[in-house]
Amino acid sequence: MGKSIIGRKIILVLLASCLFFIFLTGCGKEQPDNNALSFNKDGSITQYISEEFDIQNYDFDDWKLTAETEISEYNSANGDKVSIKDIKLEDNILHCTMTYADDDAYFDINNEPLFYGTIAQAITAGYSLLVPVTNIKTAEGISSAELQELKDYKIAIFSGERTVFTYRDIEYVSNNAGVGDDLKKAVITGDSTAYVVFK
């Protein structure tokens, strides 16, 4: 697909070595928990990163220039699919914001499977949607067949502990996801596959 191999390795080193993630928001919004992703209305995925930076072995300005250059090369080969911004170093902690145009770009950079799209698109992509899900309002489970009928609903499919945020209220989640008073936020526990479904 024309990816920059050098760039991908450098960015993978950045992301794979993250100790934790912080989702930083403005406009008076709640600051989400660590290890968070935001699933956006336009299909993009935002990742806010906070990582201990090895100042003994790396120069921050050199790293920043290299990261920005490699993202630029990736975008030249694949379209403008990834942005890296708000890069700063505070108390040896590197903060930056990564935004991916779609789940393919997320996979290219993180080497971590993730699907984000409609349920109809998930079925077309080969997902069987067999993970049990529960209706948030009724606390009742629905079958895979019933889930597949919700073709226009958005679904995020991924693995690993993290907090996720959506632009609309979450309606169904897998058993490893918890939703509290904030229906646009789900906390995932454990490493098994998680589903987060919203309209």
Residue with tokens 């526990």: 189
| Predicted TM-score of the model (pTM) | 0.81
Of 67, 84, 110, which residue constitutes the final position of a domain?
110
The answer to whether residues 10 and 101 belong to one domain is: yes
Cβ-based burial of 19 (10 A; exposed 0-12, middle 13-18, buried ≥19): exposed
Q: What is the DSSP string of the chain?
A: ----HHHHHHHHHHHHT-SEEB----TT-----BSEEEE-TTS-EEEEEEEE--TTT--HHHHHHHHHHHHHHHHHHH-S-EEEEEEEEETTEEEEEEEESSHHHHHHHH----EEEEHHHHHHTT----S-EEETTT--EE-HHHHHT-TTSEEEEEESSEEEEESS-EEEEETTEE--S-TTEEEE-SSSEEEEEE-
Of 110, 140, 162, which residue constitutes the final position of a domain?
110
Confidence (pLDDT) at 48: 79
Of 110, 142, 176, which residue constitutes the final position of a domain?
110
The answer to whether residues 18 and 106 belong to one domain is: yes
Confidence (pLDDT) at 85: 86
The answer to whether residues 91 and 132 belong to one domain is: no
The answer to whether residues 95 and 150 belong to one domain is: no
Confidence (pLDDT) at 35: 61
Tens-level pLDDT at each residue, the chain (199 residues): 444 444 444 455 555 444 333 333 333 334 344 468 999 999 999 997 777 888 999 899 998 998 899 899 999 999 999 999 889 999 998 888 899 999 999 999 889 999 999 999 999 999 999 999 999 999 999 999 999 999 999 999 999 999 999 999 999 999 999 999 999 999 999 999 999 999 9
Q: Which domain holds residue 165?
A: 115-198
Q: How many domains does the chain have?
A: 2
The answer to whether residues 137 and 161 belong to one domain is: yes
Confidence (pLDDT) at 86: 86
